[in-house]
Amino acid sequence: MTTKLLPARESLARLRESLGRVVRGKSEVIDRLIVAVLAGGHVLIEDVPGVGKTTLAKALARVLDVAFARIQFTPDLLPADVLGTEVLDPQKGSFAFHRGPVFTSVLLADEINRASPRTQSALLEAMGEGHVTIDGVATALPSPFIVVATQNPIEFHGTYPLPEAQLDRFLFRISMGYPEFEEELGVLQDRRSEDPLTRVLPVLDGPTLLGLQAAVREVVVKEPVSRYLLAIVAATRRHPELALGVSTRGALALYRAAQARAVLDDREFVSPDDLQALAVPTFAHRVIPTEEARFGGRRMEAVVAEIVSRVAVPR
């Protein structure tokens, strides 16, 4: 590991440990969330209610010691409720911009698919470019800026599916899943007298995180590994069950995520293992199935995993 990252080893280990105490038995989910944060990406957590999605997002904000805001997405939510709006100041006789909850460092977009497409699209510019434009004036968002969105994949009444453009703004789509029996027993015991979330202490501050994000971009990705990544991407574009494969933006997303995973694992270089481990959460929500695959109930996670298994790994 480079000298610049040596002080971060202990912090990243404490980050894992702190999140693991709040959300038990989900080390892979926690690692992917940390990787997304290091890569400067956003995360969509898709799972049934009550498995810890909101708790994980709140714990992340606490361990990072940054500003946190939560928006409960509902059908009547308007873009101004997210971004902010111009408000008349009677004393000055002029309009002043009142910032919305998007002006934070960790934004929890709870049940994002319950809002209308118009309101969902209010996050597109923020997530893609790090600023919002109100009345023709661009206003920068805080840095770092991370969106953790949740949605329930089972309940469809009163929901609006996220369009491809919105899905493409998320680095990962991940699922929490139910904990194992012993882990769930531990959850009950942990919450007997208090919520473990109240005991979470800051591990990284904003400037330190920005330094780590900058260091991620220095991780070496050798040409054979880059070629392997593009071979996986090319395979998605010609797969018979996919109407649309991975875009160049998707390839860049996996490239950056692999660099972040290397930092988390205390390495100075990206290996094929990084690409294999992250291809499914990075690509599965970016590809579009054919009509036959959709009606056949084929999951895109299975298709991407199959593609990865068939592409030759470089030596």
Domains of the chain plus CATH, in order, are: 42-170 (3.40.50.300)
Quickly count: other Cβ atoms within 10 Å of residue 204's Cβ: 21
Q: What is the pLDDT of residues 287-300, one digit of tens each?
A: 999 999 888 888 99
- Percent of the chain surpassing pLDDT 90: 50
* Crossing angle of the two packed helices 206-216 and 8-22, in degrees rounded to 10: 110
Q: Provide CB contacts within 8 A for 273, sequence distance 6+.
A: none
pTM reported for the whole predicted model: 0.90
pLDDT score for 41: 95
Element (H, E) at 97: strand 94-99
For 69-119, the pLDDT digits (tens) are 999 999 999 999 999 887 877 777 777 778 899 999 999 999 999 998 889
Angstrom distances, CA of residue 162 to CA of 20, 124, 130, 139 = 29, 11, 20, 25
Residue type, 275: L
Please give the C-alpha separations between residue 171 and each of 35, 195, 310, in angstroms, as whole numbers. 10, 30, 23
Residue 7: pLDDT band with limits 50, 70, 90? low
> Per this entry, what is the length of the chain?
315
